[in-house]
Structure 1
Amino acid sequence: MLNRFGIILFCLFLLGACGETKSSGKLQKAGLLVPETVNDQVWGTKGFKGMLKVQSKFNIDVFYKEGMNSETVVARAVEEFNQKGVNLIFGHGSEYAEYFNNISKNYPNIHFVSFNGDAKNSNTTSLNFKAHAMGFFGGMVAAHMSSQQKVGVIAAYEWQPEIEGFYQGAKAENKQINVSIEYVGNWDDGKKAVQLVDSMLEDGVDVVYPAGDGFNVPVIERLKERGLFAIGYVSDQSDLGESTVLTSTIQQVDTLYEKVADQYNNGKLKSGNLSFDFQDDVISLGKYSPLVDKKFIQSMNEQIITYQKTGKLPK
């Protein structure tokens, strides 16, 4: 699976794009680099779906490569993309910002896009999700639904803004709530994440926010086994169990791919670091569990609308 090179050659009429013509703008072909796989059903899959949207909208060839986890292999992939006529490349992770800063000067006709990093060159852009509010609203739901007044976060790294957001949101909903926070140290160590959540559950935590797309599924499965609750992360994870997943904090990466490709095609994509939040329709809360009372859901919806309009979170 790793280091596989792929071209998405689905017949476009299957994607509803039969009547479209080739893009008349700047966009010629697009490429995607992912550190692991496009089949993880979370972060990597979202990138792949984003490329499908780009392909469908602009009627172009799009390529992807998996296992792109070092600057050496990324540089080799970029050269392959260049030879195929790709002029917009998405690096699906924060690590690609540094790689692209080093590589992009050799490819002035390619625009390089990464996530949650620091883009420094004129043909590099970093897309940064402003995740504080996302975590805040997730924390409110967790605190509201905790019968033990104990909630927890299993995070990948301390720098994640959604972690502080979750803490503040939980406290805004219930001043007496206890919030436990543990760090896995990477995005993918499911075994360690499950060990950490087991310790939390022994301490009476009954709602957990597994804020890591590589380990959130096994954590949610453990919570399901115990009859406890989770806040989903990155994707709408209600399909893992509506009686377990109270709601999800969603980053609509596929929609953002389409928006960025459109900006590039029209010559409007800015270099540097761009930020996106609820107001940009790329961050949202997902489907609520039927266990969450409708009055609270209505209140949450109203508070999210207020945040979208004013930028102010509940106190």
Structure 2
Amino acid sequence: MQANKQLKLILAITLIVISVFFVFLLFRSSQIMNDMNASEKKPTKILILTTDNVTDQSWGSQAYKGKMQIENLYNVEATLESEVIINMELEDLIMQSIHDGTELVIGHGREFSEFFYKLTNQYKETQFVTVHGEYTNSNLAVYTFDHQEIEYVAGIAAALKTKTNKVGVIDAVNNEHKDWGFSEGIKSTKPNIELVYDVVYSREDHEKALQIANKMIEQDVDIIYTKGNSYNKSVINLAKSEGIYVIGYLEDQAYMAKQNVLTSVVNNIPQVYSAIAKDFLSKGGVKPEKKFLDTTDGVYGLAPFGSMFSNEEILFIENKKEEILSET
């Protein structure tokens, strides 16, 4: 009788163990199937447009880097069209891309903002986004950033190194009355510095940029903040031959002239693309607004300071940087 009870107990325990194991197998099988289904899900199709080329140091190269980054991070298939002309033919290209399954169209620059706005009502099921720009709609958003705080710090760096008390800015877009950071950084350090501002109105016009740079040098400007992406190379080479300092833009440009580049205002545009893709693929999607990214998104910063700065000067600049970023 006792042996009978023991046998029943052993059988019961065995059945419980088998049942638990069976349930576990079912659970794991379900997980594996879900993972397989997820991995087999078709990638989201994205179209990226830029009017620029994609050569090194160009604005368009940032679109290419953005494409590569989001394809590495997310289940997306991105097509990049460079050197596009904003006209009816571009609309046909976008329409064909949407017909082929594109769900998100990204315009690499403010120049696409108004053009996209006119398209959004025709393609209501497609999400449009521009990097910089002003126009928004129910399916059109702007992702941008305001790096005035970092330019303020760059201004401090320039003020510490000018001997003639004349600093120049060569811009690709006329932002003289919008950008306060660089000029305020200069004035906060040396109020008597004269800021000389001029605009090329193109990121590619090397000849015009050199004309402006030469004119500034004739006016005793000894530091130029050059903000033209492509034409920066020509300006930096001129600065090297003339023995003046420059501040680079978009990427760390010290490799062009280590003894002449004070620092560079770095814009990490691929991080903007990551923010766009992350929001688009999220449950909430892209909101119809102008979204400002900041330092927490890793979209801008300053390149390392050159060897022309003393340790005391670098410490002073870094302290000022911490102060202004903590205020924003």
For normalisation by structure 2, the TM-score amounts to 0.82
Pair 1:161–1:127, CA change in 2 (3 A):
farther
Within 5 Å, give how 1:271-286 maps onto structure 2.
271-286=288-303
Report the alpha carbon displacement of residue 193 of structure 1 after superposing the two structures with TM.
1.0
State the secondary structure of the residue aligned to 2:117.
helix
For normalisation by structure 1, the TM-score amounts to 0.85
What is residue 289 of structure 1 aligned with on the other side? 306
Cα shift readout 1:224-280 (whole Å, capped 9, x = no counterpart): 121211101122112212211110111111111112201110133211211123354
Q: Whole-Å Cα distance in 2 between the matches of residues 122 and 148 of structure 1?
A: 51
Report the alpha carbon displacement of residue 153 of structure 1 after superposing the two structures with TM.
0.7
State the secondary structure of the residue aligned to 1:257.
helix
**Which of 41, 52, 67 lines up with 2:68 in the alignment?**
52
Flag the structure with higher helix content.
2
Report the alpha carbon displacement of residue 208 of structure 1 after superposing the two structures with TM.
0.2
Within 5 Å, give how 1:249-260 maps onto structure 2.
249-260=265-276
State the secondary structure of the residue aligned to 1:87.
strand
**Which of 204, 213, 217 lines up with 1:201 in the alignment?**
217
State the secondary structure of the residue aligned to 2:258.
coil
Pair 1:305–1:42, CA change in 2 (3 A):
farther
Pair 1:163–1:196, CA change in 2 (3 A):
farther
User: In the alignment, does 2:174 pair up with 1:158?
Assistant: yes
User: In the alignment, does 2:294 pair up with 1:304?
Assistant: no
- AA paired with 1:308? L
Higher mean C-alpha deviation, range 26-35 or range 147-156: 26-35
- AA paired with 2:321? I
State the secondary structure of the residue aligned to 1:142.
helix
Higher mean C-alpha deviation, range 267-276 or range 248-257: 267-276
State the secondary structure of the residue aligned to 1:271.
coil
Higher mean C-alpha deviation, range 253-262 or range 214-223: 214-223
Is residue 156–residue 185 contact of structure 1 (8 Å, CA) maintained in 2? yes
Q: Whole-Å Cα distance in 1 between the matches of residues 87 and 50 of structure 2?
A: 12
Cα shift readout 1:115-170 (whole Å, capped 9, x = no counterpart): 22123211111122213223222211111111222211111233366743211111
Unaligned runs of 5+ in 2: 1-34
Report the alpha carbon displacement of residue 60 of structure 1 after superposing the two structures with TM.
2.6
Is residue 246–residue 288 contact of structure 1 (8 Å, CA) maintained in 2? yes
What is residue 248 of structure 1 aligned with on the other side? 264
Is residue 134–residue 162 contact of structure 1 (8 Å, CA) maintained in 2? no
Is residue 148–residue 206 contact of structure 1 (8 Å, CA) maintained in 2? yes
State the secondary structure of the residue aligned to 1:113.
strand
What is residue 94 of structure 2 aligned with on the other side? 78
Structure number, greater radius of gyration: 2
Q: Whole-Å Cα distance in 1 between the matches of residues 278 and 251 of structure 2?
A: 23
- AA paired with 2:305? Y
Pair 1:295–1:25, CA change in 2 (3 A):
farther
Q: Whole-Å Cα distance in 2 between the matches of residues 174 and 43 of structure 1?
A: 32
What is residue 46 of structure 2 aligned with on the other side? 30
Q: Whole-Å Cα distance in 2 between the matches of residues 20 and 77 of structure 1?
A: 34
Within 5 Å, give how 1:57-136 maps onto structure 2.
57-136=73-152
Is residue 133–residue 162 contact of structure 1 (8 Å, CA) maintained in 2? no
Is residue 256–residue 282 contact of structure 1 (8 Å, CA) maintained in 2? yes
Q: What RMSD, in angstroms, separates the aligned Cα atoms of the two structures?
A: 2.4
Is residue 52–residue 59 contact of structure 2 (8 Å, CA) maintained in 1? no
Give the share of equivalent positions with the same residue, in percent. 26
Pair 1:134–1:273, CA change in 2 (3 A):
same
Runs of 4+ in 1 over 4 A off after TM superposition: 19-27, 160-163
Is residue 142–residue 170 contact of structure 1 (8 Å, CA) maintained in 2? yes
Q: Whole-Å Cα distance in 1 between the matches of residues 82 and 231 of structure 2?
A: 19
**Which of 143, 148, 168 lines up with 2:159 in the alignment?**
143
The count of aligned residue pairs is 293
Report the alpha carbon displacement of residue 222 of structure 1 after superposing the two structures with TM.
0.9
- AA paired with 1:146? T
Higher mean C-alpha deviation, range 145-154 or range 47-56: 145-154
